[in-house]
Amino acid sequence: MNKWLLTIALLFAVTDLDGTLTRTNTLCLPFYCPEPFADSIQSLQGFDEILYLSCKPRVYGGFQQWWLDHYNFPEGDSWAIGPFPDGCVSFQEKCDFLKAYPIQFTHGFSEDEESLQAYECAGIPNIIKVIHE
């Protein structure tokens, strides 16, 4: 039983959509929907559930979830934690959100330094900095 639960727990991940998965730092505006990076969907296929966080002021849950569904990303929740005047929340606010979330994630992916700090603060053990060339 414990082995089964550990296997399930290891299949959770967290990621951040503020430019990590696409070629832009915004998501789906009415006139523009960015393509995901070619390998972003495949790299997340090994995880059962993803938490997609965004803090861009023009990104809202409905658009974000539509974008994820449209591109067949793995199962998961979509949260837009905004809007905020400067376009993003602090790492502490993201950290608090992750600590309060009912699932303890095992992986954090981002190219955004504040998100990486938030993952560390929230105790996520595997933090991966995404670098696009």
pLDDT at 133 over 90: no
Question: What is the pLDDT at residue 11?
Answer: 54
Domain count for the chain, please give it: 1
Helix axes 113-121, 91-100, angle to 10 degrees: 40
Instruction: Give me the mean pLDDT over the 17-46 stretch.
Output: 72
Instruction: Give me the mean pLDDT over the 45-62 stretch.
Output: 71
SS3 127: strand
> 132 lies in a domain?
yes
Find residue 77's DSSP bridge partners: 51
User: What is the rounded distance in angstroms from the CA atom of residue 12 to the CA atom of residue 83?
Assistant: 27
Phi-psi region of 83 (alpha: psi -120 to 50; beta: other; left: phi over 0): beta
pLDDT at 67 over 70: yes
User: What is the rounded distance in angstroms from the CA atom of residue 72 to the CA atom of residue 67?
Assistant: 9
* pLDDT tens column, 9-27: 445 667 776 667 776 655 5
- CB-based contact 62:78 (threshold 8 Å): no
> 113 lies in a domain?
yes
> 97 lies in a domain?
yes
> 87 lies in a domain?
yes
62: containing domain: 12-19+49-133
Please provide the DSSP assignment of 3-56 as one string: HHHHHHHTTEEEEE-SSSSBSSS---BTTB-PPBPTTHHHHHTT-SEEEEEE--
> 77 lies in a domain?
yes
